[in-house]
Chains A and B, each alone.
Chain A
Amino acid sequence: MMTTTELEEMVERKTGQHVVKMKGVSKIFPNGNVAVDNVDIDIADGEFISFVGPSGCGKSTIFKMISGLVENTTGEIEILGSQVQTAQQKRTDVGFVFQDATLLPWRSVLENVMLPLEFQRMSKVEKREEAERALKLVGLKDYAKSLPRQLSGGMKMRVSIARALVAKPKLLLMDEPFGALDEITRQSLQSELLRIWESQKMTVLFITHNVFEAVYLSTKVAVMTPSPGKIASTVNVSLPFPRDDEIRTTHQFSDIVARVSRDLKF
């Protein structure tokens, strides 16, 4: 049995420099609704951090602020060492996956994955190779020529993940990506995501309202509570990697799930 400090060190080893820094960040909408209230969080390089909370707790708003889709009312946000607004210049550093796969129905799987590269200077052959590499990563190499409508929900989500990975992002933002999938598909995609995260050097920010999913995937879980949306606590998940399905039935796992669930109630 490892001691807590040992485990913490293990998590620490994977992580290094800060990828996302938020200091006193709030978002107040014009109608006076406080979506996010005074959030401080530092996310280190290589971390897998989940934001758990009920709907309306500002999880998505935090993501939108990090991605620059929504401007923060107060505070400072720094991603990959620069302010959000200036960071817009090199967006290939950040990848996005939404709850909907948002694939273009008229494009083949490969062409869909190539989409982010079309806004970069890159030769056609290179784009193709990169897209094929990303598809291989999610296990869909043989479906390159298929159209999205020929795929199942889980496969569409894989394509969406491949599209996010194609530009080799340092930071991956995932907004309830598996929310619409059935439990079996969800679990297999979770394992797959962990495998990809471990093989690619990147930081993942993951939104979910499923506590089990958050604990299984993450190095840290940020528990959020609504009205006004804020981070109630940050729970370290000191479970070793690589994680397999068996870990879901261990005592440690259920202890952490219980802790997160308790924090959610506050």
Chain B
Amino acid sequence: MGNVQTEKLEVNNEMANRKKVNWKFLHSWVPPLIAFLIVMLAWQFGTAMLQIPPYILPKPTDVFMATVDNWSRLWDSASTTILESVIGFFFSVVIGVSGAIIMASSKILERSLYPYAILLQTIPIVAIAPIIVIWFGSGMNAIVIIAFTIGFFPMLSNTLIGLNATDRGMLDLLSLYQASKWQIMWKIRIPAALPYIIAGLKISCTLAIIGAIVGEYIAGIGGGDGGLGYAITVASTTMEIPYLFACGIAASILGIVFFLLVSLLSKVLLGSWHESEMKKD
């Protein structure tokens, strides 16, 4: 009798669990999907009803057709932008993190260099972009440097904050063990700064794409084929408005994919120990 009851209870529990999972899934995916569909439908039929011409606001179907028709052109532009932003991002990470490590290892260096890093950050990138183009020529080099410049500061400042926020007790302990400055850096400060570094990566990865597109606006073609920024300037002068929309959407998809990749990396690196990536119960 008792057994039967517990069994029943377990079955019920299982069902409840399955329902819970399904419900959770629905809970997180359905509302944004419905919102998306409503906006798309409103856009599609609204433009038709209000008779807005496609050169002002193309219908979603127009944008989709433009994407399909110009797929190879769009793909070429997107891959140029990806290449530029990945290289720019790579340099902002490497130089930002190593710059922060150098500054964190010496208070004097930090005090003398950090103000200039802030200065670099406060200069609007569009203001110095033409200078970069003059120095490095219009093309890939200049664009990569612009992408780097825009993503560099978040990396530097986040890493520096992380390195300087190491637990006091931990530092005391290591100095009691007679650890050298660099041993403390490698064994404690850098791993402890990892959550901050990842936060920097999340900011910089999307900024790198913005930087690359801004660079392409100003420097024009990069590496033979123009990137998305260049394609956008061309499409706006030739009045290919649906294609212009397609380029804009492609650029934001790039940003989202970049961000998701960094989030994945964050899960892999921090998942086991840091609050920010632990499963919430």
Contacts and interface: CB of A to CB of B under 8 A. Distances in A.
A224 B274 CA distance: 40
A106 B178 contact: no
A96 B175 CA distance: 11
B183 interface: yes
Contacts of A69: 172, 175-176
Nearest to A97: B173
Contacts of B272: 106, 147
Interface residue range, chain A: 20 to 34
Contact of A118 (B169, B175, B187): B187
B170 interface: yes
Interface residue range, chain B: 10 to 19
A164 to B, nearest CB: 10
DSSP class of B's interface residues: helix, strand, loop or mixed?
Answer: helix
A148 B167 CA distance: 16
Which of B170, B183, B194, B273 counts the most chain A CB atoms within 10 A? Answer: B273
B254 interface: no
B109 interface: no
A119 B188 CA distance: 13
A91 B176 CA distance: 7
Interface in A110-140: 115-116, 118-119
A41 to B, nearest CB: 21
B176 to A, nearest CB: 6
A259 interface: no
Contacts of B175: 69
B177 A116 contact: yes
Nearest to A160: B173
B191 A104 contact: yes
Given A100-B169, A147-B272, 13 more contacts: A67-B176, A89-B178, A98-B172, A102-B170, A102-B173, A106-B194, A106-B272, A115-B177, A115-B187, A118-B187, A119-B178, A119-B183, A147-B273
Interface of B: 167, 169-170, 172-173, 175-179, 183, 187-188, 191-192, 194, 272-274
For the complex of A and B, the 10 pairs showing the least CB-CB separation, nearest first, are: A102-B169, A105-B273, A106-B273, A119-B177, A91-B178, A116-B177, A102-B170, A106-B191, A119-B179, A100-B169
18 contacts: A69-B175, A88-B178, A91-B176, A91-B177, A91-B178, A96-B176, A100-B169, A104-B192, A105-B273, A106-B272, A106-B274, A115-B187, A118-B187, A119-B179, A147-B272, A147-B273, A148-B273, A149-B273
